[in-house]
Chains A and B, each alone.
Chain A
Amino acid sequence: MEKTYNNKAWLLVIPVFILVALSAIIPIMTVVNYSVQDTFGGNKFFWVGTEWFTDVLRSERFHNALGRNLLFSFIILCIEIPLGIWIALAMPRKGIWVPVCLIMMALPLLIPWNVVGTIWQIFARGDIGLLGHTMSLLGVDYNYTNNIFDAWVTIIIMDVWHWTSLVVLLCYAGLVSIPEAYYQAARIDGASKWSIFRFIQLPKMRGVLIIAFLLRFMDSFMIYTEPFVLTGGGPGNSTTFLSIDLVKQAIGQFDLGPAAAMSLIYQLIVLLICYVFFTVMSHVGTDRPIQEKVE
């Protein structure tokens, strides 16, 4: 529906505009500023053009961090999406248990992220943590602070615990909107549970799954707080994701130039992948005109 033109609307937008300008636009412009300049100290900056960008793109450190991010997001998506769908399918759609399940699913999402990191930090500790202690009782050699594999496993499990609920709630919303008649027709057709999933539920969840995918990809690719609190980027730099590396450079080393350049590149990568993904997913399996044949 086209909205009619209304000048009063602009007045309502100005306060938001000011806030966004102060908290987002101006800082971003500052970052862009830093990314094309260098300093010898004493607050004097000079133009270096795209030098920082080429430096970052060539640096091995950046490549490694990027690689870690991609691997992490890939694993996360492979686990959380199917798991989320599976849990959503198992949740009841009618009755008293519905609100109970919904609240249980929502709980992990409500916890502040650094608290999540801290919970798992303690949980996984070998001496006082329930998980860590149980592992050592079972005879498993588990230490997330000095074993790379253990650190990764812990971070992944922590993220799955934290964020799968989001996928669950989105998929649940999609499932609940399927009219009962489809299930009835499928039963009458003698369809197996798997067929019902494949031919009715999955296609009808397409919209929400796209959103779930996008959200989880973006969030996991930009992850900072939880791994930072849990491992601080260690052991060594095995869990130093792009965001953590960025902060190290900017605030730790005070290399504003390369840090600014890296953050812009980071942002562009996220935008690019999301755009490509969204475009592809929106066109897969959409309505084609009747004249077009399907092989």
Chain B
Amino acid sequence: MAQITLDKLAHSYLNNPKTDSDFALKEIDYVWDDGGAYALLGPSGCGKTTLLNIISGLLVPSKGRVLFDDRDVTNFQPEQRNIAQVFQFPVIYDTMTVRQNLEFPLKNRNVPKNEISKRVEEMIEVLDLGNKANLKARGLTADEKQKISLGRGLVRYDVNAILFDEPLTVIDPHMKWQLRTKLKDLHRQFNHTMIYVTHDQTEAMTFADKVVVMYEGEVVQIGTPEELYDEPKHTFVGYFIGSPGMNIIPVDVVGNQAKIGNHSINLKGDYASLTGKVELGIRPEFVSLNKIESGIPVQITGTDDIGRFKIIHATIDDFEMNIVLNEGQSIPSNPYIKFETSRINIYQNDHLVRPMINGRGI
């Protein structure tokens, strides 16, 4: 177990990077706590795999340092960093049985035989592979193979961190669910630092204590799932997290009122005068749909029924937005919407702005 520090880390795949856009990973300074469960979340090409490979040692960064506890491991190979990695597709030794696969990393480290058996048996138990332990690993299903990949990392004594690179990609939704829960349990049980790369926000949010949201090589926000959900610091985070994502509507903000066309919306506080692109962010779950003529009238353009709730697509004037309606609620014929005041966020040029306290802005 180790604390991982990223010191002014940046990476470019080009030999002579000049501008900011030449960097696949822009400068990042962060300390990952020992034993934490982290997720690196972002769309393809955002740099999350680059960051993971730098932490694991498969890639040497062009700038900055990586420290495990106090050791500078920037130039160390993966085997010298004592990390384990689970890849997108299951990587197992075809010719070995499940048990032999799990014994392999320990044998290579010259762990005494009886220690190996004890540890491996424990792992087989924890991973629910008991009845398949003597079968050739090749014949197992995808999720069982991923468990073996994971097991090879967990079985070692000297693991500083376990890194996951979109490990549930090849798994069926039904098994994805089980494996995710299993990973969380394992994290609780073994307390390793775990870093999980994904583009699926449900995976990230359910697994991690802290989520690092990345976009185009930059870390946009690091926070707990609740923080990211309630107060996304950037409109991208608001959009990316939540299914459907946050509604972003251009508004004019004066004092404690936001104006969309002729309609006024109450805000939770007074805002300083804002320039540039000013937008209001509200999650579809916090927009209520009423028949009573109070609130803002909307036109409903479509409905998606996904069983436990419905997604209503609507427009205010010309701006599109989504509303979530719970099971059992009906759609009024003359719809008006109201926003839950405490859940409204205001953004200036894509960045979160907080209301003033005592007449002073933040």
Contacts and interface: CB of A to CB of B under 8 A. Distances in A.
Given A189-B152, A191-B108, A288 B87 contact: no
B111 to A, nearest CB: 11
Task: Label chain B's interface by main secondary structure.
Answer: mixed
A199 interface: yes
A192 B95 contact: no
Contacts of A182: 91
B95 A188 contact: no
Interface in A250-295: 285, 287-290, 292-294
A41 interface: no
Interface in A153-201: 179, 181-182, 184-185, 187-192, 195, 199-200
B77 A294 contact: no
Contacts of A190: 79, 105, 108-109
A285 B139 contact: no
A203 interface: yes
Given A184-B85, A190-B108, A199 B136 contact: no
Given A181-B89, A192-B108, A290-B132, A187 B77 contact: yes
Contact of A289 (B87, B97, B139, B149): B139
Given A181-B89, A189-B104, A199 B96 contact: yes
Interface string B90-118: 01011111000000110011000000000
B51 to A, nearest CB: 16
B144 to A, nearest CB: 10
A288 B136 contact: yes
B108 A288 contact: no
A200 B257 CA distance: 65
A203 B136 CA distance: 13
A195 B108 contact: yes
Contacts of A199: 93-96, 104
B139 to A, nearest CB: 5
Contacts of A204: 94
B85 A185 contact: yes
Contacts of A285: 95
A191 B77 CA distance: 13
Contacts of A192: 108
Contacts of A195: 104, 108
A290 B135 contact: yes
Contacts of B140: 290
B184 to A, nearest CB: 23
B136 A188 contact: no
Nearest to A293: B134
Given A200-B93, A203-B95, A184 B105 contact: no
Contact of A189 (B89, B108, B139): B108
A294 B140 CA distance: 13
Task: Label chain A's interface by main secondary structure.
Answer: loop
Contacts of B87: 181, 184-185
B188 interface: no
Nearest to A285: B95
Given A287-B139, A290-B140, A188 B79 contact: yes
B94 A203 contact: yes
Nearest to A190: B108
B64 interface: no
A185 B149 CA distance: 9
A293 B135 contact: yes
Contacts of B149: 185
A190 B152 CA distance: 11
B54 to A, nearest CB: 14
B177 to A, nearest CB: 22
A187 B104 contact: no
B135 A189 contact: no
B83 interface: yes
**Residue among A185, A189, A199 with most chain B CB within 10 A:** A189
A187 B79 CA distance: 6
B78 interface: yes
Given A189-B104, A199-B95, A184 B139 contact: no
A288 B140 CA distance: 11
**Residue among A181, A182, A188, A289 with most chain B CB within 10 A:** A188
28 contacts: A179-B89, A181-B87, A181-B89, A182-B91, A184-B78, A185-B85, A185-B87, A187-B77, A187-B78, A188-B56, A189-B105, A189-B152, A190-B79, A190-B109, A191-B108, A203-B94, A203-B95, A204-B94, A287-B139, A289-B139, A290-B132, A290-B135, A290-B139, A290-B140, A293-B134, A293-B135, A294-B97, A294-B135
Q: Lowest 4 CB-CB distances: which A-B pairs, in order? A: A190-B108, A185-B91, A189-B105, A181-B87
Given A184-B87, A190-B105, 17 more contacts: A181-B87, A187-B77, A187-B79, A188-B56, A188-B78, A188-B83, A188-B84, A189-B104, A190-B108, A200-B93, A287-B138, A287-B139, A288-B136, A289-B139, A292-B135, A293-B135, A294-B135
Interface of A: 179, 181-182, 184-185, 187-192, 195, 199-200, 203-204, 285, 287-290, 292-294
Interface of B: 56, 58, 77-79, 83-85, 87-89, 91, 93-97, 104-105, 108-109, 132, 134-136, 138-140, 149, 152-153
